[in-house]
Chain A
Amino acid sequence: MEIYEIVTYFTLLLLLFSAARVVTTSNVIHAAISLVFTLALTATLFLLLSTQFVALVLVLVYIGAVIVLFLFGIMITRAPLGKNAELDNDKNKLIGATISGAIFLLFSYILINGFDGEIVITSGSSTELLGEILLSRFVFPFEIVSFVLLAALIGGITLARKDEALVDEDQV
């Protein structure tokens, strides 16, 4: 088990380093690429915890879609090569540190006290169980989440598009 622990702590160290790079670099594309590495290392941690499904969802959804859309959005608007002084926002550093510290403490408290080191899943593959639990016990929250996502999607389209016909209707 020793090698397993060494790998885990090494991954955690790299994770902290790349996460720090995301917020300290003064180039927005470099920040996004550091975020790719941060997420990839998080996925590695999930793999080490033998939850393959969560790890792969992280890669597919966050790296493959969210970050790509980040990069796409940044590049389609403005993304100068080299350093960008606007990214260093000294005023908000204290607030940012406070909020992230508070979130860290809250999550640590919940995770440590919530399960008490008890192993919840004892048999079968984690993916199969995840699927079954999501569509039986948690089916209602699951549907609610999809409904919220649909609402966000429609909201996004409404905000983004300027429909001539719609404007005319409002004026009438």
Chain B
Amino acid sequence: MTDVLVKVGFLALAALNGAIIFTIMDVKGASWMQRRPGPLHVGLRGFIFPLAEILKFVQKEDIIPTEVDRPVFKWAPAYVMVSCVALFAVVPMSPTLVVADLELGIFFALAISSLGTIGVLTAGWSSANKYSLMGGLRAAGQLIAYELPLILAVVGVVIQAETMSLVGIVEKQIEWGVPFVVGGQVVGFLIFMVAATAEMMRVPFDMPIGESELTMGFMTEYSGIRFLIFYISEYMNMFILCAIASTLFLGGYHVPLLPTEWVNFYGPVVLLTKTAILGFILVAVRWSQPRFREDQLQNLAWKILIPASLINILVTAVMKVGF
């Protein structure tokens, strides 16, 4: 009896060790075979890497599967693209360096950014693929849930600034002397950044893409230029949401102590620096955090972020009236 047990134990141990040794060999072998210098070293220290990527996607075949709903499938990336590009119009680089200083600037931005959801949903449905549909539904559920805290976090800023114009909001922060994130909107800023990350569908909020279980979610059937549009839109969205966050909470194109007369010269640099810092934080989060589970993701939005942003509005309003 005992020698049978010893034999079984020996077998299990050998199998386990074999597996571990071969895992190491596979990983080491892969690293040795395909040295991947990509974005760090090739071509001007990797800075022309994205251009190669774009060229690659443009010259790829734009495959449209036979069973898809053609017009819907073809136009779905357009909604996503438009919803991102239009946002660039309202973000001010300085009081005069802005495409359109709308009276309802931030409201316009929130309204237009909500259009992207339709593109994602229709892309998922029209692909005639259940993984795509699942991805589309997850994406829509997530975008609906996180749009609310995003809007509610902005309401606090609007109450404090007494205006919805983005230039007006920055001017108010200059008048105050400190950016709103120091002047009482810390909670609002955190809620905005978390909700914005979810809106971009980046890790840790990338359940809709979930490449290990849904291949690429709503993008599965897309290839070539249409995939490129989705891909670029994600980064456009990331850039512009970071720029909006800098404008709303971090003082936009101005930093305290700089003379306001020269704002046209340093404004763009200041805004882009703030945007880049926020962007780098998002990159750091992406490569260090695991993915949220679907129910945790929904709970975070509905049970934590929305109540917190409502309390934030209440406190801001009370402070505004009281002081």
Interface residues in chain A, defined as those with a beta carbon under 8 Å from any beta carbon in chain B: 27, 29-30, 33, 36, 52-53, 56-57, 59-60, 63-65, 67-69, 71-72, 75-76, 79, 81-82, 125, 127
Contact = CB atoms under 8 A, between A and B. Distances in A.
A81 B107 contact: no
B110 A75 contact: no
B121 interface: yes
Contact of B121 (A27, A72, A81): A72
Contacts of B55: none
Given A29-B125, A53-B104, A68-B144, A76 B137 contact: yes
Contacts of A76: 137
Interface string B95-106: 000000011100
Contacts of B121: 68, 71-72, 75
A127 B124 CA distance: 37
Contact of A64 (B68, B72, B147): B147
A29 B144 contact: no
B194 interface: no
A39 B126 CA distance: 22
A72 B286 CA distance: 28
A21 to B, nearest CB: 12
Interface string B127-155: 01000010011001101100100000000
Contact of A52 (B103, B118, B136, B144): B103
25 contacts: A29-B122, A29-B126, A33-B72, A52-B102, A52-B103, A52-B108, A56-B107, A59-B111, A59-B112, A59-B114, A59-B115, A60-B107, A63-B118, A64-B117, A64-B147, A67-B118, A68-B114, A68-B117, A69-B144, A71-B118, A71-B121, A75-B121, A75-B136, A75-B137, A81-B126
A64 B115 contact: yes
B3 interface: no
A60 B104 contact: no
A106 B14 CA distance: 85
Contacts of A59: 111-112, 114-115
B234 interface: no
A159 to B, nearest CB: 19
Given A65-B144, A72-B137, A56 B108 contact: yes
A72 B147 CA distance: 15
A63 to B, nearest CB: 6
A52 B107 CA distance: 10
Contact of B118 (A27, A60, A68, A125): A68
Interface string B219-244: 00000000000000000000000000
Contacts of A63: 114-115, 118
Nearest to A43: B111
Contacts of A82: 69
A72 B144 contact: yes
B67 interface: yes
A7 B124 CA distance: 34
A91 B186 CA distance: 59
